[in-house]
Copies of this chain bind each other. A is one copy, B any other.
Amino acid sequence: MNTPTIPRRRGRPPKELAGYSETRESLLRAGVAVLTEKGFSSTGIEEILRNADVPKGSFYHFFASKEAFGLELIDRYAAYFAKKLDRILTNEKRSPLERLHDFVMDAEAGMRRYRFKRGCLVGNLGQEMGVLPEGYRERLREVFVDWEARTARCLLEARAAGEIPRKTDCASVAAFFWIGWEGAVLRAKLDGDPAALRTFANGFFATLK
């Protein structure tokens, strides 16, 4: 949910490989930051270039269009987030239900890091769908489906471990979680504090008893 802080690469600058360059990386990094805080339609390429400290004119060297750039930002955010979910939701040191709590805590810490100004890139773009390229819709939906599937697997483990009732419909509960959680992130941004994240998480975990 919160914004990826993609670590800057250390050491010698890498060679300019096909499709990869430091400039391209900077642009993607700046794009994710801007899109989690603001939106796509209100963000100009100029602002991203400025934030990335990249000269004008470079953008179209790396990306065919703002639309293509946006799709890559979704892919990048999805990959970052899948990795985070994997790390937290398959952590063998914690029980499956504890892992879900860990995710919620991690998300709150992530939002706090940016003073609750940055939300979820996928949720933000979903809200803007009315003015976005129609091709984004399917991609954004796929990302939610992926997050739901990962969450459902963790819930299945929790059910197998007896942490939640045997009759729990894990797929439905996972879908319910992501629908509501995006609402919570939205509200935490509006409030500028974590109350909504906690209210939703508390309510959610209470339903699992």
- Residues of A whose CB lies within 8 Å of any CB of B are 37-39, 41-42, 117, 119, 123-124, 126-131, 137, 140-141, 144, 172-173, 175-176, 179-184, 186-187, 189-192, 196, 199-200, 202-203, 206-207
A–B Cβ pairs within 8 angstroms, 21 of them = A38-B128, A39-B128, A39-B131, A119-B127, A123-B183, A126-B186, A126-B187, A127-B189, A129-B189, A140-B190, A173-B203, A175-B196, A175-B199, A176-B199, A179-B183, A179-B184, A179-B199, A180-B180, A180-B183, A180-B203, A181-B183
Closest to A182 in B: B183
A38-B128, A176-B202, A180-B180 are known; give 18 further A-B pairs, CB within 8 A.
A38-B41, A39-B127, A42-B42, A42-B128, A117-B130, A119-B127, A123-B183, A127-B128, A141-B190, A172-B199, A173-B203, A175-B196, A175-B199, A176-B180, A179-B180, A179-B187, A183-B186, A203-B207
